[in-house]
Every structure is written in C-alpha cells, then in structure tokens.
Amino acid sequence: MALKIWLDMGLVDEKDAKISVFDHGLLYGDGVFEGIRVYDGRVFELEAHIRRLFESARAIRLPISMTPEELTAAVEETVKANKVGDGYIRLVVTRGVGTLGLNPFTCQKSGLFIIADKIQLYPPELYEKGIKVISATTVRNHPLALPPQVKSLNYLNNILAKIEALDSDVPEAIMYNHEGYVAEATGDNVFIVKNRVVCTPPVEAGGLEGVTRGVVLRLAQREGLEVIEKNLTRHDLYVGDEFFLTGTAAEVIGVVQIDGRIIGTGAVGPVTRLLREKFFRYARGKEQ
C-alpha cells in the first residue's frame, strides 16, 4: 500500500509528496528534523520530540508554520493514516523555497513533511551478542560552529564518520570532539558502565541531547544506579566494564568491542541488559 505523507498542511499520496529543487533544505541542509518511534500504535515521547524540534528551529531562526499542538495532531494523523503499529516517523522542517544564494530570508515560507513507515533495526542477534565499533578519525563539529543541541538536516559530519565505520565492516563509529573527548556515535549517544556507575558524556561535549538517552538516564536512576554525566576519553571506553549506545532506532544496544579491543568480558553486560529490558517495557507502556 502506498504511503500517505503529510506535506505542509495535509496528507497526500506518496507519489505527490514532492518538494522544490529550490528548497534550502535540499540546497544547503537548512532545516531541522526529528526521528520518532511508534510502539504498539503509540508515538513514543512525542511531546519531548516536538519540544526539541521547536528549540532547534528557534536556534537557527527557522519559523514553523504550525503550533506544537497542530504538529502533534498532524504526526498522530499521519501514523493513523498509514496504520503504523511499530515503526518510525521522520518529521522534517525545511527553510523552504528561496534563491540559489545563501540568504535564508529569501525563503518566504518554511516547508514541512512527515513520513510514517516501518524501520530497519539492527538484527535481533546483535542485541544479544553486542556490536563492534571503531573510533572515527572524523572530528565532531565544534560546538561554536554548529551547536550539538540543534538536530539539523546537515548530517555530513556524521555521514563521514559512518563511512569510516562501514569501511571497517562495523555498524557504528565513535566520534570525538576537538579536545579528544567522546561526543557521540554517528547516530547514537554513548554510555559506559564502570563499577556499576553509569557514565555518559554531557551534551556540551558535542553530542545530541537524545530523547532515548534521557529516558535511559531516568530508568537507570529509578533502578538505583548511580548516574554521572562527565567527559569520557577513548581510554575510558577501552577499560569500561560495559559499553552501550542509545538512540531512536538503536534503542539500547551493547558494544562488545572497540578498535579491536574487547570490552569487559566480551559479552553484553548485566546493566546493559537490565536497562534494555526496562526501556522495552517503558516504551510499550508496560512500566511508567
């Protein structure tokens, strides 16, 4: 069945969901987006995603043509129209149609589209066995160049690191900031566990303030685990007892090897398994 896409102010058939080649989102990566999960027909943490979208847009002076309440209703309508039970939403706001010049203020009106469809996850066996990653040589964007809190359409920095991972036959790469501290993976946030203390880099280190990251932090605290946000080095990753990533698509997935070095016992650790189970139950409304 062809998808229904929300385009600007309403649903259209997939074949009619088109944007102009003069849209600055296409020409310059000038826009913001959110990736959102759907579990059992429920949109996961929608309020948090909508809030982050508007904050990202405000940071780059990008007006959104709908209110948060209208956009929330549009997301839910798009999910319902496509009968998405378990899937993924891509919510995108572009600068809109303008000239070939950089000037964003030639764009008279922002563009908006919403896609709700299935998502390709890591194979189930990787959640049991864990994944291998590498350290990227591509340095994360300097926070004064592009604030990490802005989830923009310009993902070339992440893509270059992703290419490094794929060239090394692993699914993810860890990115470091200009000072050598861990920022994030190409599409996920980074966590380690050391002596049962859960540690993750602060967003100031160059990582996105992930919605899944925030949920996992809360769940860890609820389980009585000590949680610390602090700068992490490559050494910290190498010697951690456990290592895992969080993200909208990845959810919670263990890392068992980085740069050829085995993490902990070489198996997905107990804290990682606990938090994955708690996240799964929370996402599906079995625990609040």
Mean pLDDT of 268-276: 98
**119 — pLDDT class (breaks 50, 70, 90):** confident
- Across all residues in the chain, what is the average pLDDT? 96
Catalytic one among 151, 230, 278, 286? Answer: 151
Mean pLDDT of 52-74: 97
Residue 286, pLDDT above cutoff 80: no
> Around Cβ 264, how many Cβ atoms within 10 Å?
21
Burial environment of residue 123 by CB neighbours within 10 A (0 to 12, 13 to 18, 19 or more): exposed
Residue 267, pLDDT above cutoff 90: yes
- pLDDT tens profile 170-198: 999 999 999 999 999 999 999 999 999 99
- Alpha-carbon distance 187 to 27, whole Å? 22
Residue 271, pLDDT above cutoff 80: yes
Return the SS3 of 186: coil
- Alpha-carbon distance 89 to 114, whole Å? 7
- Alpha-carbon distance 61 to 31, whole Å? 10
Closest CA to 231 of 193, 201, 210, 188: 201
Q: Give the pLDDT score at 285.
A: 85
Mean pLDDT of 59-85: 97
Residue of 121 and 181 predicted with greater confidence: 181
Is CATH 3.40.1550.10 correct for 4-117? no
Active site residue 151: yes
Residue 249, pLDDT above cutoff 70: yes
- Alpha-carbon distance 203 to 231, whole Å? 10
Sign of the torsion angle spanned by Cα atoms 281, 283, 286, 288: positive
- pLDDT tens profile 216-233: 999 999 999 999 999 999
CA distances from 233 to 78, 178, 198, 199 (A): 42, 12, 15, 12
Q: Give the pLDDT score at 121.
A: 78
Phi and psi for 45 in degrees, rounded to 5?
50, 45
Q: Give the pLDDT score at 288.
A: 64
- Alpha-carbon distance 56 to 53, whole Å? 5
Token pair 């802005």 is at which residue? Answer: 150
pTM, 2 dp? 0.94
Mean pLDDT of 158-162: 98
Q: Give the pLDDT score at 268.
A: 98
Return the CATH superfamily for domain 124-283.
D-amino Acid Aminotransferase, subunit A, domain 2 (3.20.10.10)
- Alpha-carbon distance 122 to 129, whole Å? 11
Sign of the torsion angle spanned by Cα atoms 133, 250, 263, 214: positive
Residue 281, pLDDT above cutoff 70: yes
Task: Provide the edge-to-edge strand list for the sheet that holds 42-43.
Answer: 10-13, 4-7, 111-117, 87-94, 31-39, 42-43
For the chain, the structural domain boundaries read 4-117, 124-283
Residue 113, pLDDT above cutoff 90: yes
